[in-house]
Amino acid sequence: MHEIEKYRKKLKRHIEKDRYRHTLGVMYTAASLAMAYGYDIKKAMTAGLLHDCAKSMPHEKKIELCEKHHVPITDIEYENPFLLHAKAGAVIARKKYDIEDEEILHAIAVHTTGVPAMSTLDMILFIADYIEPGRDKAQNLPQIRQMAFQSLEHTVEKILYDTLHYLNEKSGRIDPATELTYEYYKNRRNIANEHNE
Ligand code: DGI
Ligand code: FE
Ligand code: FE
């Protein structure tokens, strides 16, 4: 049995039904993006499958787990511990699913806010999480789903732009990482455009 099957069976016992459905959507969407961009399909699927593995952990437990494993927690994360399911997920993937691939662990750790200068896998997971077929709430999804297969960087920028607007409207606290990542990709596009003028 391939390892992905093994992870899938284990994960299914640990997360809620709707989260499991979302997770499979992310896994296959990440696989499609890997195909489009010539990335390792199994790595993309593993990251997609495990990215929300810490989602149902109580806030206290996520904080405890990160502290125990010396994963730094920011003030924003202490105030909004749901953000921590990304970092805690990377710890669980390492400790409980024996994932040793640092690229996969990093993609899981940054999947909610992004980080400047993301790797290909970071972007694939970040985008797959947003566009998987079960998602229907975000605005501009049809456009973003098409964009995803044309440019990873432009899609990341667009998702962050929409996320920042959404958070502003519902007055959610914004993690500086989300803002910094958006600025990073916007500046890169502007620099590229200047070169083309
Ligand atoms: O775990 P999922 O729901 O599948 O997806 P996710 O880990 O990307 O989390 C999505 C939520 O995270 C979405 O409601 C927007 C929110 N989010 C992203 N960046 C920030 C943020 N929430 C806050 N408060 N601050 C941020 O910077
Ligand atoms: Fe998540
Ligand atoms: Fe998710």
State the pLDDT at residue 1. 63
Ligand 1 site, residue 172, Cβ cutoff 6 A: yes
The answer to whether 24 and 65 are in contact (CB under 8 A) is no
Mean pLDDT, consecutive 10-residue stretches, the chain (197 aa), reads 92 96 98 98 98 97 98 97 98 98 98 98 99 96 98 98 95 93 97 89
Ligand 1 atom at shortest distance from the alpha carbon of 113: 19
DSSP string, 92-143: HHHHHS----HHHHHHHHTTTT--SS--HHHHHHHHHHHHSTT---STTHHH
pLDDT, tens only, 141-174: 999 999 999 999 999 999 999 999 999 998 879 9
Q: Minimum-distance ligand to the CA of 173?
A: 1
> What is the residue whose two structure tokens read 């502003």?
168
Q: Minimum-distance ligand to the CA of 89?
A: 2
Ligand 1 site, residue 120, Cβ cutoff 6 A: no
Q: Which among 19, 75, 83 is the best mutation to test ligand 1's pocket, defined by most ligand atoms within 8 Å of the CB?
A: 83
